[in-house]
Amino acid sequence: MTAPDRPRISLLGTSALLFEAPGAFDLPHQRRIWSLAATASKWPGIREAIPGITNLMLTFATPPRELDALIAALNDGWDAAEGLTIGGREIRLPVTYGGEIGSSLQSVADHCGLSVDDVVSIHAAPLYTVFALGSHPGYCYLGGMDRRITMPRRQTPLQRSAGGSVSIGGSQTGVSASPGPSGWHAIGHTSWTFFDPSWPTPAALAPGDTIRFEIERVIR
Amino acid sequence: MIEILSVTGPASVQDLGRFDQYRFGVGTSGAMDDVALRAGNILLGNDENSAGIEIPMLPFKLRFGRDMAFALTGADVEAEIAGRVIPPWWRSHARTGDILTVKAMPRGARSYLTFGGGIDVPMVLGSRSTQFRSEFGGWHGRPLQAGDILPCTASTATIGELGVEPAEITLVRPNATPDETVVRVVIAGEYDGFAATTQALFWSSSWKITPQSNRYGYRLQGPAVKPEVPIEKRSHGIVPGVIQIPPNGQPIIQMRDAQTSGGYPKIATVIRADLWRVGQARLGGKLRFEQTAYTDALAAEAEMSAYLDRLRTNVRLVEETRTCRSS
């Protein structure tokens, strides 16, 4: 279970189990996770199969009496998983970089040895893929950020970061869907709505969708 | 309906929780002591998932807008209605206009007030629990305030006074003391990343529950427990009960309003059968962890279910006896 090229499987008490894939944080691995999630969500006793970043959490409707069969099914499922290509929709998100909400824009530039304009153009260049939803309602973990604008998470999280904050945490970026605590660095904001419990599907985006940030304004 | 007259701290409407919305980033919410909420609903003949009020701080006062049965379960509280004292783990009957005052909580951390028929707020994404971060569910997605008037489902059941044995007595742990809660945990993914001496420290320490503990998480204070080399995980799903170790080495137990994913190393997870004990552990109190195997954790869940089954049977027998006598 701990060999470096094999998946790691561990318990989250009696409520859930965590499957962590070996290998890189990239789209091909994530596509296999989506595939395994689609398969595992149909297994008896499984309430939900929730993709994370190259990992998968299974929550139990009924905790299995014994785990060996489930572990074997996950390992076999991973080996058999062909990457699932989801033809998601592409969202264009206008972003105001900098300003009061994006107040860490300058410190990210300083940390990375870049100008503010460089950080903005590097951040807005890629087509990002929604890898997974998690953290808080409607929040999307995005893959595809340029490593040149990597900045380690805060040692002490902020008590309250604004909803719509566009932030960088380590080599990941994302947009918070509602106000709340955050250990990431906000470089801008957007007014898009990511979550509404009254929608038929409460989250606006799903794994496989893509986001392109559009530079609406840069406040220096 | 009921009218909130005064409230201290974040009291909220909760049912058992929202369990199948993780894929949208929506956590469980729900009663911190689910055993107490179930017991209250069993006493009243309600569906066990009916919504009640979770009261973490006192005093708390409300007025009944019509005749109604209610129950108080969870923490040991001092309460009275219309001059009568109401013991905890007890159901009683209120008349229109009666004022219920919950005054003091000598033991435990959360009291549950349930009502015959349950609080009638809309189901949102499969639950009536309050989702604070996204401000939905419960009563307008927020903590209760004085002046709030909550609708209750009409219940025609006429029921007399009745008490049941509190969970903390029936399900008492042999090694618990009044000021130290002992909870069983199953080791988690990064346990082996801690040196044997650090692991031993985690088990032997009596962890202090800091004032920063709430429905989101219980932040503990004690000797620093750090992995041999720093561990930063890719973001992955987590559930209530997961014990994370942030860089400062002070454990955080994720609770009902926690984020649905995280990246800190996880040393262990509080088992489902003991999570309510954390919900009843007071700020400033002590907590100790006891390692248990997965199969023993399932046995502990079966024990909890057996206790609730006994409550159901006892309440039903009392009703049947009453019906026989009155017919």
Task: Report the C-alpha gap between B278 and A186 in whole angstroms.
Answer: 34
The length of chain B, given as a count of residues? 327
Interchain pair B188, A138: CB under 8 A: no
- B41 by Cβ neighbours in 10 Å (0-12 / 13-18 / 19+) ranks as buried
pLDDT digits (tens, 9 = 90+) for A23-76: 998 999 999 999 999 999 999 999 999 999 999 999 999 999 989 999 999 999
Mutate to test the interface with A, among B190, B216, B234, B295 (most CBs of A within 10 A): B234
Question: pLDDT at position A123, please?
Answer: 98
Interface ipTM = 0.95
Vertex B109: Cα angle to B106 and B111 (nearest 5): 90
Instruction: Give the C-alpha separation, B249 to A135, whole Å.
Output: 22
**Domains of chain B, CATH where assigned:** 2-164 (no CATH), 180-292 (2.40.100.10)
pLDDT: which is higher, A80 or A4: A80
Residues of chain B with pLDDT under 50: none
Q: Phi-psi category of B310—alpha, beta or left, where left has phi over 0 and alpha has psi -120 to 50?
A: alpha
Residues of A in contact with B236 (CB under 8 A): 18, 20, 52-53, 55, 57
Has residue A154 got a pLDDT over 90?
no
Of how many residues is chain A composed?
A: 220
Half-sphere exposure of A204 (CA within 13 A, CB side): 16
Confidence (pLDDT) at B6:
97
pLDDT value, residue B70: 96
Q: Does A201 touch chain B (CB under 8 A)?
A: yes
For the record, the structure tokens of B164 come out as 């049941």
Nearest to A52 among B19, B135, B236 (CB): B236
Rounded mean pLDDT of chain A?
A: 94
Instruction: Give the rounded distance of the alpha carbon of A61 from its chain centre.
Output: 25
The token duo for A12 is 């989250």
Dihedral over alpha carbons A31, A35, A40, A42 (to 10 degrees):
140
Establish if B23 touches chain A: CB-CB under 8 angstroms: yes
Distance of CA B295 to the CA centre of its chain: 24
pLDDT of residue B157: 65
State the best of B261, B267, B274, B292 to mutate against chain A, taking most chain A CBs within 10 Å. B261
Chain A, chain B: beta-carbon pairs less than 8 Å apart: 150
What span, in angstroms and rounded, lies between the C-alpha atoms of B180 and B275?
15
**Confidence (pLDDT) at B81:** 96
Report the candidate in A177, A186, A170 with the shortest Cα–Cα distance to residue A135: A177
Q: For residue B158, what pLDDT is reported?
A: 64
Residue A133 has pLDDT above 80, yes or no: yes
Give yes or no for a contact between A208 and A130, defined as CB atoms under 8 angstroms apart: yes
- Which residues in chain A have Cβ-Cβ distances shorter than 8 Å to B187? 11
Provide the Cα torsion A63, A68, A70, A72; round to 10°.
170
Provide the pLDDT confidence category of residue A1 given band limits of 50, 70 and 90: very low
Is residue B276 helix, strand or coil?
A: helix
Which runs of E-coded beta strand occur in B144-223?
149-150, 162-163, 180-187, 207-209, 217-221
Domains along chain A? Answer: 8-80 (3.30.1360.40), 90-219 (2.40.100.10)
Which of A192-196, A204-208, B151-155 has the lowest average pLDDT?
B151-155
pLDDT band at A158 (very low <50, low <70, confident <90, very high): confident
Angstrom distances, CA of residue B62 to CA of A207, B143, B148, B279: 46, 15, 10, 23
The vertex-B308 CA angle with B304 and B312, nearest 5°, equals: 165
∠ CA(A104), CA(A110), CA(A111), 5° rounding?
A: 90
